[in-house]
Structure 1
Amino acid sequence: MQPVVDFATPIRNAALPPPSNRRFARDQAAPSDSEPVATRDGRTLRLRPIEPGDAQALRRCFKRLPAQDIRRRFMHMLTELPEPMAQRLCRLDPATEVAYVLVDDTVTPAEVRGVGRLFIDQSSDSAEFSVLVERDWTRLGLGALLMHRLVDACRERGLAELWGYVLVENRPMLRLCGELGFTSRMIPDEPGTAQITLKL
C-alpha cells in the first residue's frame, strides 16, 4: 500500500525556490569576455567580442566617422553602413572570423568607439585584419590595444601570418604596425596602397 502524501501540509525544512529576480537574472558569477580598458586621458571603455546586438551601435559609429576615415578603412567612400552589412558584421562565423569592439557604457545607449576584426583564410593559414577607432578616441593607445588582441587571436589559432591593406596616407596605422614588426610592400595595381604583413 502506497503512503498517502498530504500536499496541503508543508514539508519541514524544505528549501524554497529562489526569488524570480534571481532565477531569471544572468549569472553574475559567470565568467565574462568583457574587460575594462582605461585610456591615456582617464576615460574607460569595455573591450569584448562583437555581438549581434551591436549592429545599431556600429551604424551610429559609422555615421560619426569623417569621410577620410571611412576611405582609409573601406578603401572607398560610403555614406552610410547599410543595415544588412551591419548585421552581417556583427554575426560572425567563428571558424573564419574574429571581432572585438570597444564599448562606451558612459552614454545611453552604449556606443561602439572602436572595432578590430580578423578574416581567416584557412587554406593559406593566414588572416586579414582591419582596425577602426573613432576620431575622438584616437591617439589614446586603443588602436595598438586592438592590434595586440588580434595578433594574440592569430597566435592562439596557430596561424602563420597576419596581413592587411593600408593606404599610404594612413601614416598612424603604418607607424603602429611598423612598431609591431610588420613589413610593408606597395601594391602595383593599387596606387597609394601598401600590404603590410606580420609573420607569426
Structure 2
Amino acid sequence: MADYPAELVRKRYLFDGSPVTIRPIRAEDKPLEQEFVQHLSADSRYKRFMSTLKELPPGKLKYLTEIDYVRHLALVAIIQRDGQDVEIGVARYVAGPSGDECEFAIAIDDEWQGSGVAGILMLELIDAARARGMRKMEAFILAANNNMIKFAHQLSFALHRDPDDPGMFHAVRSL
C-alpha cells in the first residue's frame, strides 16, 4: 500500500461559492462512507451500485476505504456541517489487469447534485489517474441514467451502447 497521497488534498469551491475539500479516502473514513451511502436516495444508490442495497456490507465498505492509492484511488468531497465532516460525493477508479486502464464510478449526494462537485471530483480523478500511468478510463452506465450519460459526454467520454447488454452504455476516454 502506497503512502497517503497528501498532495491530492485540494480546497475547491462549488458553483454557489461553498468551500469543499477534495481528498483521497482513508481507511478511517468507513463511518463517513457508510453514512454517505445511507443518505443517498434509493435511485442514486441503484444508479451507483446497480443494486438495491441500503448500506454497505462490511466487506464492501472495507474494499471502498482501504485502497492502495495507485491501482485503486477514491477521492471524496467533504464539507463542514456543524463542525463535522460530511461526505457529499465520491469518485474512484480501479485499474484493470493491464495496469494502464481503469474503470471509474462516481456518486453525489442527492442534495448536492448540480452543485459542481461532480465535475470537480472527476477532473481531479482524471488528473490523478493520468499521473499514475493510466492511459484509458471507462465506465458502464445504466441506459436509464440520463444525467450520467450527459455528464460523461461533457467530460469527453465516447459513449456506445453495450452490444451485450442494451440496458448499458460503455463510456471510454483516453487520458
Q: Distance between the aligned counterparts of 1:180 and 1:88, measured in 2?
A: 27
Contact 2:22 2:78 in 1 (8 A): yes
The alignment's TM-score, normalised by the length of structure 1, stands at: 0.78
Higher alpha-carbon Rg: 1
In the TM superposition, what is the alpha-carbon distance from 1:93 to its structure 2 partner? Answer: 2.2
Q: Distance between the aligned counterparts of 2:58 and 2:86, measured in 1?
A: 16
Name the residue aligned to 2:146: 171
Name the residue aligned to 2:3: none
Whichever residue aligns with residue 184 of structure 1, its letter is L
Instruction: Choose between structure 1 and 2: higher strand proportion.
Output: 2
Q: Matches of residues 1-200 of structure 1 in structure 2 within 5 Å?
A: 33-123=8-98, 125-200=100-175
In the TM superposition, what is the alpha-carbon distance from 1:150 to its structure 2 partner? Answer: 1.6
Rate the CA distance shift 1:187–1:32 in 2: closer, same or farther, 3 A: closer
Rate the CA distance shift 1:183–1:32 in 2: closer, same or farther, 3 A: closer
The one-character-per-residue Cα deviations of 1:72-95 (angstroms, maximum 9, x if unpaired) are 101121121123321221110234
Contact 2:91 2:121 in 1 (8 A): yes
Unaligned runs of 5+ in 2: 1-5
Q: Distance between the aligned counterparts of 1:68 and 1:126, measured in 2?
A: 28
| Identical-residue share of aligned pairs (%) | 27
Whichever residue aligns with residue 102 of structure 2, its letter is A
Unaligned runs of 5+ in 1: 1-30
Rate the CA distance shift 1:48–1:87 in 2: closer, same or farther, 3 A: same
The alignment's TM-score, normalised by the length of structure 2, stands at: 0.89
The one-character-per-residue Cα deviations of 1:131-170 (angstroms, maximum 9, x if unpaired) are 1110101101111111111211122123221000111222
Secondary structure at 2:165 match in 1: coil
Rate the CA distance shift 1:82–1:191 in 2: closer, same or farther, 3 A: same
Higher RCO, 1 vs 2 (CA within 8 Å, ≥6 residues apart): 2
The one-character-per-residue Cα deviations of 1:15-74 (angstroms, maximum 9, x if unpaired) are xxxxxxxxxxxxxxxx76432222112322211110111110111111111111111101
Secondary structure at 1:166 match in 2: strand
Secondary structure at 1:192 match in 2: strand
